[in-house]
């Protein structure tokens, strides 16, 4: 059946109206996205500035408490020494927390993803953790690791956090960590396995939340390491998860795109 001219005009008019509405909604969505991006940038700048301003007085607290400890060494008072040690430990925890907050809230910045050798990433992560490895009598082994597309600094921090967690929460006299990788479809799937106490299934998702910890102050940490790992891997278009049962160790998995 042939459509008459008035009917054609009506349909054309409705199409133009719908297009105008769609264009208006698209413009509003773009404006909201720009506002959100601006707010995120302002918040990241605020966090970075706050952390910097907090660190300066913390350094003074640490330095003067150390100086006080040295000047009172000639006539040591056990109570005074204990109080000064608590002051230094508290300042160190706050400084560590401020650094972790900056890491978590700061985005990848202007860095662009490029070819990254994961062998080099692991070597750098272990170099930073050399003292912890020596002190804990730990061993870290790995299979050959491939090149991926990503950010070298962010991926180094991811492996650093995963290895540190495995060592700090291990109850074994000889902690061990093994890093491996396999190709799964179009991605590389990495694994970081340990011989620690394991994690109950009820907590597998919770441990990736911000400020979520399964242990008290008997273990160092601030509950941001795994949250950072999830965020950093997400920036790479991958995902991270844990597979573990109590008393049988844990294996953290994460996926990354292969090198272009």
260, 237 contact by CB (below 8 A): no
Q: Which pLDDT belongs to residue 193? A: 95
Where are the domains positioned within the chain? Answer: 1-106, 114-256
The CATH code for residues 114-256 is: 3.30.565.10
Stated pTM of the model:
0.65
pLDDT tens, residue by residue, 81-94 = 777 777 877 777 77
pLDDT tens, residue by residue, 163-196 = 988 888 777 888 899 999 999 999 999 999 999 8
Give the residue, 4 or 236, on which the prediction is more confident.
236
Provide the pLDDT confidence category of residue 221 given band limits of 50, 70 and 90.
low
pLDDT tens, residue by residue, 59-84 = 777 777 777 777 777 666 777 777 77
Q: Which pLDDT belongs to residue 1? A: 47
Q: Which pLDDT belongs to residue 190? A: 98
Evaluate if residue 140 carries a pLDDT over 80: yes
Hey, which residues does 115 pair with through a beta bridge?
Answer: 149
Provide the pLDDT confidence category of residue 11 given band limits of 50, 70 and 90.
low
Structure tokens at 163: 């290895």
Query: Considering the chain, what is the average pLDDT of its residues?
Result: 80
Q: Where is average pLDDT lowest: 25-39, 48-62, 197-211?
A: 48-62
Most confident of 45-54, 110-119, 159-168, 229-238: 229-238
What value does the mean pLDDT take over residues 216-226?
A: 63
Evaluate if residue 248 carries a pLDDT over 70: yes
For 104-136, give the DSSP string.
HHS--TT---EEEEHHHHHHHHHHHTHHHHHHH
Q: Which pLDDT belongs to residue 253? A: 97
What value does the mean pLDDT take over residues 133-147?
A: 86
Give the residue, 39 or 238, on which the prediction is more confident.
238
What value does the mean pLDDT take over residues 185-214?
A: 86
Nearest to 65 by CA among 78, 81, 76, 53: 81
Evaluate if residue 26 carries a pLDDT over 60: yes
Structure tokens at 4: 């008459």
Q: Which pLDDT belongs to residue 117? A: 96
Give the residue, 221 or 69, on which the prediction is more confident.
69
Hey, which residues does 250 pair with through a beta bridge?
Answer: 244
Q: Which helix (H) or strand (E) holds 189?
A: strand 187-194
């Amino acid at each position: 059946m042939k459509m008459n001219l008035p009917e054609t005009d009506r349909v054309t008019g409705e199409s133009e109206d719908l297009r105008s509405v769609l264009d208006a909604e698209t413009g509003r969505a773009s404006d909201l996205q720009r506002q959100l991006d601006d707010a995120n940038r302002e918040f990241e700048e605020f966090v970075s500035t706050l952390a910097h301003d907090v660190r300066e007085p913390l350094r003074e607290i640490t330095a003067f408490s150390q100086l006080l400890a040295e000047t009172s060494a000639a006539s040591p008072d056990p109570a005074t020494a204990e109080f000064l040690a608590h002051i230094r430990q508290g300042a160190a925890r706050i400084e560590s927390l401020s650094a972790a907050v900056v890491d978590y809230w700061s985005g990848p910045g202007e860095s662009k993803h490029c070819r990254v050798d994961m062998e080099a990433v692991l070597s750098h992560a272990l170099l930073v953790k050399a003292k912890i490895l020596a002190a804990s009598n730990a061993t870290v082994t790995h299979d050959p690791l491939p090149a991926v597309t990503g950010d070298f600094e962010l991926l180094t921090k991811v492996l650093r956090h995963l290895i540190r967690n495995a060592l700090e929460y291990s109850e074994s006299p000889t902690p061990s960590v093994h890093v491996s990788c396999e190709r799964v479809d179009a991605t590389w799937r990495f694994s970081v396995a340990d011989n620690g106490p394991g994690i109950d299934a009820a907590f597998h998702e919770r441990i990736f939340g911000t400020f979520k910890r399964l242990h008290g102050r008997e273990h160092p940490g601030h509950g941001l390491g795994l949250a950072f790992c999830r965020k950093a891997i997400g920036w790479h278009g991958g995902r991270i998860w844990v597979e573990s049962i109590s008393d049988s160790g844990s294996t953290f998995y994460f996926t990354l795109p292969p090198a272009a």
